[in-house]
Structure 1
């Protein structure tokens, strides 16, 4: 017997909040969850991009399905308001996708220390603080999903991005340990770890490496990641997809 709601949309009636949602994987996740019936709060610091995307998404999925929330997550005071502002805007929260992140690649000796600080703060500290803040809400309602965008770099010591890879190794450990603390409360925690995806994060790749990857078909499209995110979040509640590693079939480690 089907467990889908009458409208056939598995996430109907649920609210998702997605950080870094105005572009890339965050936008692809938004599209996928809207398609599954959820309302989505798009969290990003780019007000113009948020407004444009929400207008487009609501025109396609129905007015009020995509909700814009402008927050600079690197501002500690603003970051701490995420849950209360999501609840005020959408009236609930069932899925939180911690997706916002940045990238520092290349040789460590060439990296800008300020860029390292910013990336580690966004990729690790902000994720931990956001998850810390939404968990009491999920625990109180007896269910919820936390999904974190990790990376293939969390599973392989990638020599061309030691700082970025280290941040994702840290967050992968965070996901696996927090999951074991909260599963008894009906809260699922998982990570999606894509290989190279066509997003703005690849802007720091050496031009010759990016050109070669595009030519060889060794990049994923964000929409492909969105499809997997939808799969993870629509499994029966008795099943947790803890880790998904996805990479282009022609990608050679």
Structure 2
């Protein structure tokens, strides 16, 4: 059986863990060749041994401007071209703003906002030249609701909601679809900064989802007919109350 992404070249940032890894695995399952973009070379090597030769590791540190700028060149060198970019890498800060470290704010905004914009800016000339492409950004339900215990994180994801909506309008005339997947709380290392009481309650009442469930949404978005764009897919745990 031929996968729905057979012959496609995809790249996933933050691809060595969490939602990124689940997205890599889901795309491989649909026949794509996937460039796993991450800064953790050892983790990528271990994963590639398990996942097979259709996943290609590419070490990029998105917080290093010089390294970040090499993403497309690295993809082209290793895979020839790019059909799909899943701009997934991100980090999390929760808690009151008055208790938030200033350097941590810079790091998170650079990764959640600036790096995404830079990656998209870097790949779109290539996609425009090819006349086709898909760009998916991992956002969050926090990009649609002002979550009071995560003002910096929520603000970064609101920025992505705006960015996706504007870039969709800029790029649709070039055959490029742009959308975002906006999950609720996902079982991953990012939840380590959640307020302990909130995390305890979420675990007790089933208000968490697995990374695979977000990856399933990404595959749905990528496999629609080309005349259909899923601009935003919000994926929530059924018991999540926000």
Q: Same fold (TM over 0.5)?
A: yes
The two structures have a TM-score, normalised by structure 1, of: 0.94
Match of 2:58 in 1: 69
Matches within 5 A, 1:29-68: 29-58=23-52, 64-68=53-57
Distance 1:212 1:180 in 2: 40
Query: Residue 173 of structure 1: which of 162, 171, 175 is its match?
Result: 162
Query: What are the ranges of 5 or more consecutive residues in structure 1 without an aligned counterpart?
Result: 1-6, 59-63
Deviations 1:79-134 (A, max 9, x none): 00000100100111100000000101000000000000000010000000000000
Aligned residues: 242
Matches within 5 A, 1:67-216: 67-216=56-205
Q: Give the C-alpha shift of residue 207 in structure 1.
A: 2.4
Moved over 3 A (4+): none
SS of residue in 1 equivalent to 2:11: strand
Deviations 1:6-65 (A, max 9, x none): x4311100000000000000001001100111000000011111111111111xxxxx20
Deviations 1:166-205 (A, max 9, x none): 0000011000001100101000000000000001110111
Query: What are the ranges of 5 or more consecutive residues in structure 2 without an aligned counterpart?
Result: none
Is it true that 1:243 corresponds to 2:237 in the alignment?
no
SS of residue in 2 equivalent to 1:16: strand
Distance 1:86 1:126 in 2: 16
The two structures have a TM-score, normalised by structure 2, of: 0.99
Match of 2:7 in 1: 13
SS of residue in 2 equivalent to 1:145: strand
Distance 1:35 1:162 in 2: 36
